Structure 1
Amino acid sequence: MTRSRFPRWVYGPGIEPDPRFSLANERTLLAWLRTALGLIAGGTALEALDVPMEPTFRLVAALTLLGGGALLPVTAGVDWARTERAMRRGAALPGGAAGIVLAATVGVVGALVLLGLLSR
């Protein structure tokens, strides 16, 4: 008797890939989750500590870090599922959106911190 795995929409189609590839895909997801925790910690620290910059820029930068930290696990989870399904179907691996979310978050926060420091 075969037990079904959850989520069925990810594990249902195709054949079981080499476990090393599935485990590597999972490690990538976990790395994105650690990165999201770092963004959340950075946003919290930026607002909680007395960083010498213009307060409005500091608040917007902190909120951007928190928003990116909240969005990143969602996009990383979708990327994980899409990659797992592609491996099971023997299809080309899809591109990921998590890197784009991270790059946008870091770019915006970098600009906000720079502006906040220059305008104090």
Structure 2
Amino acid sequence: MAQAEQSTTKRNRISDRILRGGTEPDPRFTLANERTFLAWIRTSLALLAGGVAVEAFMADLFSPELRKTVAVLLLLLALVIGGGSFFRWLNVERSMRHKTPLPLPWIAPILATGAALVAVFMVAFVLARPA
């Protein structure tokens, strides 16, 4: 068997195992799904950088408890969004291959809720801080 044929066969076995068969979707849809995955990863990295920045540079502005709470919330959001983005990509890819409805984006409400929690802490901090 030629080298190219072995690579294709190996790719098909891995693809079938991960994606559970189906037919190859239009490449434009697969690439759009990949771009969405990368956007979620960018968001995760931004949240990670924000959590590190809060912990590293806000010691003079925030109390230690508030600083730690905000930093941990941002870091946990980064963890959930980064990890969840792979499963989102995988589930959308499987749906496209099997021509089934796309799954609901469960990481979007998690991100919105987490961002709202961080905003609540920040608003409380601003209101409680002397002018």
- The one-letter amino acid of 1:23's match is L
Find the partner of 1:75 among 84, 99, 103.
84
Q: Does 1:100 align with 2:106?
A: no
More RCO (CA 8 Å, sep 6+) = 1
Structure with greater Cα Rg: 2
Runs of 4+ in structure 1 off by over 2 angstroms are: 5-12, 116-120
Q: Aligned residue for 1:12?
A: 20
State the 1:54 CA deviation.
3.1
- The one-letter amino acid of 1:102's match is L
Instruction: Give the TM-score normalised by structure 1.
Output: 0.89
Structure 1 residues 25, 119: CA separation in 2 closer, same or farther (over 3 Å shift)? Answer: same
| Aligned mates of 1:34, 1:19 — CA distance in 2 | 22
Deviations 1:17-64, CA, capped at 9 Å, x for gaps = 000000000100000000000000001111111352333122101100
| Aligned mates of 1:108, 1:7 — CA distance in 2 | 39
- Higher mean C-alpha displacement, 24-33 vs 72-81: 72-81
| Aligned mates of 2:122, 2:32 — CA distance in 1 | 35
- Percent identity reads 38
Structure 1 residues 17, 35: CA separation in 2 closer, same or farther (over 3 Å shift)? Answer: same
| Unmatched 5+ stretches in structure 2 | none
State the 1:5 CA deviation.
5.6
Q: Does 1:45 align with 2:53?
A: yes
| Unmatched 5+ stretches in structure 1 | none
RMSD: 1.7
Instruction: Give the TM-score normalised by structure 2.
Output: 0.82
State the 1:110 CA deviation.
0.7
Aligned residues: 120
